Structures are given as C-alpha cells and as structure tokens.
Amino acid sequence: EGQPIYLAVKGVVFDVTSGKEFYGKGAPYNALVGKDSTRGVAKMSLDPADLTHDTTGLTEEELKSLDDVFNNVYKAKYPIVGYTSRRILNEDGSPNLDFKPEDQPHFNIKDEF
C-alpha cells in the first residue's frame, strides 16, 4: 500500500498506479506488475510462463495485438518512468549502441524522482 505500481512492456516501464483497481494487490492483472510482461500482454495471458520479455515464436496477430495495446493502452494512459536494462544494455552488460534516448517513447520526470 502507498507504493507505486510499475510494469514493463517492450522494455518500457509504466507507472500504472492510477489503474490500481486493475493492477493492485488482488486485482485481475496484478500478475503483470513488477516485471517485463511483454509476452503476456501480446498473448493476453496471465500464465506465469508468459510473464516475460521474450517474444520468440509469437504470431503476427499476437505481435500486432502487442503493438496495439502498447500504443493505445499503456502509452496513452500511463506515464513512462524508465526503461528496463534489456532495452539499454546488451546481454553481456555492455551498452546497446542501438539504444538512443531521443528515439524512445518520451517519459515525464515527476517531482519525486
């Protein structure tokens, strides 16, 4: 209670606290919070095996659904508060030279950050 609720989709971390009736403790989509749940969002699945960033093997329809939800729900409704390390680092921990902050979805820095 009293803590922000964050979830990540496509490596973008959203503050979904304003939707706590959906994402808070005991709420229907609580399983998505605290991690990058890209695959679960794409598949509309709360199966623990799908609560991962991994998009390997997703169908074209699932990828389109992911983009639609990412743009029309998360980016449209919730503030972006950061990015996951997978988005800005390579697997070996070196900087991802393809990551360009100016090309990322914009996020507003709140006073408390």
Element (H, E) at 12: strand 12-15
Q: Please answer whether residues 9 and 68 qualify as being in contact, where contact means their C-beta atoms are separated by less than 8 angstroms.
A: no
pLDDT at 102: 63
Fold of 6-103: Flavocytochrome B2; Chain A, domain 1 (3.10.120)
This prediction has a pTM of 0.80
Q: What is the pLDDT along the chain (113 residues), one digit of tens a residue?
A: 789 999 999 989 999 999 999 999 999 999 999 999 999 999 999 999 999 999 999 999 999 999 999 999 999 999 988 888 777 777 787 877 777 666 666 644 444 44
- The 3-state DSSP class for residue 94 equals coil
For CA atoms 16, 20, 21, 26, the dihedral sign is positive
Sorted by sequence, the CB contacts under 8 Å of residue 92 that are 6+ apart come out as none
